[in-house]
Amino acid sequence: MQNLPKIGLPIIVIIGVFFILISKSAVTIGPGEGGVLFERFGDGIVTEKTYGEGFQIVAPWNSMLIHKVRQQSISDEMNVLSVNGLEVKVNGTIWYEPEFENLGSLIKTKGEDYVTELLNPAVNAAARSVVGRYTPEQLYSSKRDVIEQEILDEVVNLLDGQFLNVKRVLVEDVKLPNTIKNAIESKLKQEQESLEYEFRLVTADKEAQKVRIEAQGKADANRILSASLNDRILQDKGIEATVKLSESSNSKVIVIGSGKNGLPIILGNQ
């Protein structure tokens, strides 16, 4: 009985050490994350395998580097120069996604802060290259979607083979000096007013043409009708009218052959 505490104490110590090792070895990788094993006494970052979501066991002397592998975004404001040397501030958002299978290679070559070391410089370089091709007016108004696509193409080209994919670039705002901005807005307003004035002129001209065509059509119809009317046609029309009047219920007196050109004369009350 006296030996029982001496035997039980080592067992308790062993169990305690076991649980400590388990707690140090157990790693949970959350949703949308990937894990890369770092072997402290080996070659460092293991690039051959990326661990997926869930519960993972690693040796206590190793560690698991966990990073998001789903699509993410960063926003930034960049100072760039337009084609004529004017400084422009561009606010943009970039959607990117690490390559899951190559997360270890990405971290090994660019470090864990690969956004700062790799993505930001590539985006800034692409933005400066693209914005430098356009005037402030083009940047402010009509070229926004074209600029976004060109920046995206440049970034994708710069990051080719770097284990990081950029999905989309959004240019949210282009800030110009107030004097330039006001001048552009004034010019755009004048152009819009000019277009509206030209539209009104074209509309008025078309309406005038329509009136002239309708008047000409009526004149032509009257001329054709006048040319086709002769005494015989007029006499036949008069007879037709007389017959219709004679069939009405009103009292009347019809004198046959007494009117001009031999047409009947109708006498009577309404």
Which has the closest alpha carbon to 91: 137, 53, 147?
A: 147
Q: Count the neighbouring beta carbons within 10 Å of the beta carbon of residue 115.
A: 17
pLDDT band at 251 (very low <50, low <70, confident <90, very high): low
User: Whole-prediction pTM value?
Assistant: 0.60
Q: What is residue 106's predicted lDDT score, i.e. its pLDDT? A: 96
- CA–CA separation, 29 and 66 (whole Å): 7
Which residues are CB-neighbours of 44 under 8 A, at least 6 positions away? 38, 108
Q: What is residue 48's predicted lDDT score, i.e. its pLDDT? A: 94
Contact 38, 45 (CB under 8 A): yes
Q: What letters, b where the CB count within 10 A reaches 16 and e where it falls short, cover 74-110?
A: eeeebebebeeeeebebebebebebeeebbbbbbbeb
Q: What are the structural domains of the chain?
A: 4-68 (no CATH), 72-176 (3.30.479.30), 235-267 (no CATH)
**Does the pLDDT at position 182 exceed 90?**
no
> Tokens representing 184?
């552009």
> Tokens representing 9?
């104490």
Using DSSP's 3-state secondary structure scheme, residue 174 falls into strand
Interval 12-32: pLDDT, tens: 666 655 555 566 678 899 999
Mean pLDDT value of segment 105-116:
94
**Between 251 and 100, residue with greater pLDDT:** 100
Dihedral sign for Cα atoms in the order 136, 138, 140, 146: negative
- CA–CA separation, 225 and 217 (whole Å): 12
**Between 150 and 214, residue with greater pLDDT:** 150
DSSP 26-94: EEEE-TTEEEEEEETTTTEE--S--B-SEEEE--TTSEEEEEE-S-EEEEEEEEEE-TTS-EEEEEEEE
Q: What is residue 4's predicted lDDT score, i.e. its pLDDT? A: 47
pLDDT band at 260 (very low <50, low <70, confident <90, very high): low
Q: What is residue 183's predicted lDDT score, i.e. its pLDDT? A: 63
Which has the closest alpha carbon to 91: 73, 74, 78, 72?
A: 78
Q: What is residue 65's predicted lDDT score, i.e. its pLDDT? A: 94
Interval 201-233: pLDDT, tens: 777 778 878 888 888 888 777 777 666 656 666
- CA–CA separation, 229 and 217 (whole Å): 19
Reported in sequence order, the residue ranges of the chain that DSSP labels E, i.e. its strands, are: 26-29, 33-39, 44-45, 54-57, 63-68, 72-81, 87-98, 164-175, 253-255, 265-267
**Does the pLDDT at position 163 exceed 70?**
yes
Q: What is residue 47's predicted lDDT score, i.e. its pLDDT? A: 94
Strands 253-255 and 265-267 turn out to be antiparallel
Angle subtended by helix axes 144-158 and 120-131, to nearest 10: 130
Q: What is residue 16's predicted lDDT score, i.e. its pLDDT? A: 56
Q: What is residue 149's predicted lDDT score, i.e. its pLDDT? A: 93
**Does the pLDDT at position 243 exceed 90?**
no
Interval 73-95: pLDDT, tens: 999 888 888 888 888 888 999 99
**Between 103 and 143, residue with greater pLDDT:** 103
**Does the pLDDT at position 259 exceed 70?**
no
Mean pLDDT value of segment 185-209:
70
Q: What is residue 67's predicted lDDT score, i.e. its pLDDT? A: 95
Which has the closest alpha carbon to 241: 222, 259, 214?
A: 259
> Tokens representing 158?
């710069």
Q: Which range is least confidently modeled, 47-51, 66-70, 167-171, 180-184?
A: 180-184
Q: What is residue 270's predicted lDDT score, i.e. its pLDDT? A: 45
